[in-house]
Copies of this chain bind each other. A is one copy, B any other.
């Protein structure tokens, strides 16, 4: 353990704004002190790193469109407890700016700059009908076995 790099791996499952803040605060904070950080995006977790605003999948069938309708983009992530007509992520971002705390966008950028690895869950890509190119900074698609292999010897969180 002494000579090995410390490691933090996270399964980013939730599409909630506040949980995305948690994921990228932990990611950038850990990377800043030298941790290897791996984020495995799955289900709603993709929301935070979508390229296209307001679309969950690039599929064109009815089901893909239905999911698109239900999922928002980076700018309209729901805030688990405070989502009054979409106003609250804006409120939270405002409070973060006002208090000189990094916003979600800044936390994601910092994570990328600090070398945090973004991985996509293979299965959820198949279900949602999306490709890694639809999201920002995806390094690779992984199944569960490869993710567990990556995470070995470090801390793992499900968020």
0 or 1 for each of A1-34: is its CB under 8 Å from B? (1 = yes): 1000010100101110011011001100110110
0 or 1 for each of A67-104: is its CB under 8 Å from B? (1 = yes): 00011000000101110000000011011101111000
Contact with A13, one of B11, B22, B33, B143 (Cβ below 8 angstroms): B22
If the complex has contacts A44-B81, A127-B101, A156-B157, are A33 and B91 also in contact, measured as CB distance less than 8 A? no
Contact across chains for B151 and A155 when beta carbons are under 8 A apart: yes
Contact across chains for A126 and B99 when beta carbons are under 8 A apart: yes
Interface size on A, residues (CB 8 A): 55
Copies in the complex: 3
**A41 beta carbon closer than 8 Å to chain B:** no
Contact across chains for A63 and B145 when beta carbons are under 8 A apart: no
For A44, the chain B residues whose CB sits under 8 A away are: 18, 80-81
If the complex has contacts A15-B81, A101-B126, A157-B156, are A33 and B95 also in contact, measured as CB distance less than 8 A? no
Q: How far is the CB of A25 from chain B (nearest CB, A)?
A: 6
Q: How far is the CB of A22 from chain B (nearest CB, A)?
A: 6
A residues adjacent to B (C-beta < 8 A): 1, 6, 8, 11, 13-15, 18-19, 21-22, 25-26, 29-30, 32-33, 35, 42-44, 63, 66, 70-71, 78, 80-82, 91-92, 94-96, 98-101, 123, 126-129, 143-145, 148, 151-153, 155-159
